[in-house]
Structure 1
């Protein structure tokens, strides 16, 4: 039905705050706009693999810690 990645669960805001980074600081490190970081945190935008890896590297964590697919039975 084309809803496969409509919702990507993410802990980005929690990890970013734990690292004491603003959206602006994280966006500069990941080489994207602050609006992109905001949209990812709000579940509006699904990041590319490259961007997800850059964000994880900046926050010293794994991509899987930041982003998760919803369980099939919860959709």
Structure 2
């Protein structure tokens, strides 16, 4: 797994674990929602500054976005679609 895929994996994992939508994370980090989506899909290559802002919004260190996932880690599940909480 390359660095971009690791960032995508952990960004989605942390975002979902904290219950943030892509839009909420984007607002907190000061980036566009489509940019967060692109990073999670591995389509965009974010700068270190953007990674630091995303990590700060998620309440983690930027290094956590680059950790190698364990072999038994499951693919992060998406949040329930829609804007309202269940």
TM-score, length of structure 2 as denominator length: 0.67
Q: How many residues align?
A: 64
Q: Which stretches in structure 1 are left out of the alignment for 5+ residues? A: 1-5, 70-75
List 4+ stretches of structure 1 deviating above 3 A: none
- Partner residue in 2 for 1:73: none
Higher strand share: 1
1:42-70 Cα distance to aligned partner (Å, 9 max, x none): 1111111111001000111111211359x
Measure the CA separation in 1 of the matches of 2:66 and 2:22: 17
TM-score, length of structure 1 as denominator length: 0.75
Q: Which stretches in structure 2 are left out of the alignment for 5+ residues? A: 69-86
1:6-27 Cα distance to aligned partner (Å, 9 max, x none): 8512210000011110000000
Superposed CA RMSD: 1.8
